[in-house]
Structures are given as structure tokens and as C-alpha cells.
């Protein structure tokens, strides 16, 4: 049987996202901010975070797939900017669910830099320890977690379990 072990509770996530929202608001007060969220894993956090950033800001989406169903391997990164609005003259806050190898965020940040934004910074809900292969330092980090595969609060295994309100370590059962 598959097993789920709660690593970060719903209440802890709520408190941390609220605190991050306040930090972000203080840092960007009075500035033109666009949050660019990476589909699909950051959607749940985006919905919560944008309501904590109680000042005018825009939201845009990019799709990146480096990970397809398998548990840890990251292949070539495909990025679709179909939903990315113009960020020229605006401060960009790139949002992702988890920093693992660092490939996704460093590549998307590089692409955004070429669109004449005022700045590009990043926020992640989770940073996994011991897996990073590309140097990239997020500006806002929700939680640092051990090298375990996690699901919930937007994170999936094979596109499932995103709905869980907490973050859980996922261990598939023997089949």
C-alpha cells in the first residue's frame, strides 16, 4: 500500500504563507509587481499567497516540464510562455512549488531576464536539501525539507495528490 507521512501540516503552511506574503508586501510596496507562477505545482500556493499580498499586483503563468511522472529524474526542460504577460518595466517574483535540482527556476529566471523586467527574484514553498546541481538561491523560502519525495498542496505524484491540504512524504507501496 502507498504510504503518506505528514511532513508539514495545513496550519504550518498557512502560517508560513501568511508570513511570506507580509515579507513580500513590505519589499514591494508601491512597486509594480508581477508574480509569475510555474504550472502546475505552484497553483495552490499562488492562490493563497496572492491573497496575502494585499497590494495591487499582477499574476502570470509559465509551464515547465522537466519531470514527468517518474519520481526523481529531470530530463530536458520544456518551457511554454503562452500565458506569460508582458513583464517589461515590472518587478517579477517567480514562484515555484519546490527547488530540487534548481534547473527549472534558473532556466525560467534566465528567460525572464531577457524581457526587460525591473528585477527578477524568486520564491519557493519548499527547498529540498542535497539535490541541487545548478547554483540558484531563492529569495523567499517557505520550508527546507530533506531529500524525500513529497506530495500535496499542489505537488503531485503522476498528477495525483495535488489536492492534499498538507505536505506529505510519499512512499509508493510494493506492487
Q: Are 36 and 92 in contact (CB under 8 A)?
A: yes
CA gap 86, 149 in Å, rounded: 34
Among the listed residues 67, 112, 120, 142, the single contact to ligand XMP using CB under 6 A: 67
Question: Per CB under 6 A, does 112 bind ligand XMP?
Answer: no
Under the criterion CB under 6 A, does residue 8 sit at the interface with ligand XMP? no
Q: φ, ψ for residue 3 (rounded to 5)?
A: -125, 145
Residue 77 CB, shortest distance to ligand XMP, in Å, is 7
Catalytic annotation present for 27:
no
Measured distance CA(34)–CA(86) in Å, rounded: 9
Q: Which of 100, 156, 158, 160 is catalytic?
A: 100
The C-alpha atoms of residue 142 and residue 135 are separated, in whole angstroms, by: 19
Strand, coil or helix: what is 113? helix
Sign (positive or negative) of CA dihedral 110, 112, 118, 122: negative
User: Which set of grid coordinates corresponds to residue 8?
Assistant: 508539514
Does 149 interact with ligand XMP (rule: CB under 6 A)?
A: yes
102 counts as binding ligand XMP under rule CB under 6 A: yes
CB of 142 to ligand XMP, least distance (A): 14
Binding segment (CB under 6 A) for ligand XMP, from list 19-27, 44-52, 110-118, 151-159: 151-159
Residues belonging to the active site: 100
Footprint of ligand XMP (CB under 6 A): 41, 66-67, 74, 96-104, 149-151, 155-156
Amino acid at each position: 500500500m502507498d504510504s503518506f507521512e505528514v511532513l508539514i501540516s495545513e496550519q504550518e503552511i498557512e502560517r508560513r504563507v501568511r508570513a511570506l506574503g507580509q515579507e513580500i508586501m513590505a519589499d514591494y510596496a508601491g512597486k509594480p509587481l508581477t508574480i509569475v507562477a510555474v504550472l502546475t505545482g505552484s497553483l495552490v500556493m499562488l492562490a493563497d499567497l496572492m491573497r496575502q499580498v494585499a497590494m495591487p499586483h499582477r499574476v502570470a503563468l509559465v509551464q515547465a516540464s522537466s519531470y514527468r511522472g517518474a519520481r526523481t529524474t529531470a530530463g530536458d526542460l520544456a518551457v511554454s510562455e503562452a500565458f506569460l504577460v508582458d513583464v517589461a518595466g515590472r518587478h517579477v517574483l517567480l514562484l515555484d512549488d519546490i527547488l530540487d535540482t534548481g534547473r527549472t527556476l534558473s532556466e525560467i529566471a534566465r528567460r525572464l531576464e531577457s524581457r526587460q523586467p525591473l528585477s527578477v527574484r524568486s520564491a519557493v514553498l519548499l527547498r529540498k536539501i542535497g539535490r541541487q546541481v545548478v547554483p540558484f538561491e531563492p529569495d523567499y523560502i517557505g520550508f527546507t525539507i530533506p531529500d524525500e519525495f513529497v506530495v500535496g498542496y499542489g505537488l503531485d505524484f503522476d498528477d495525483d495528490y495535488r489536492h492534499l491540504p498538507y505536505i506529505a512524504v510519499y512512499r509508493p507501496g510494493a506492487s
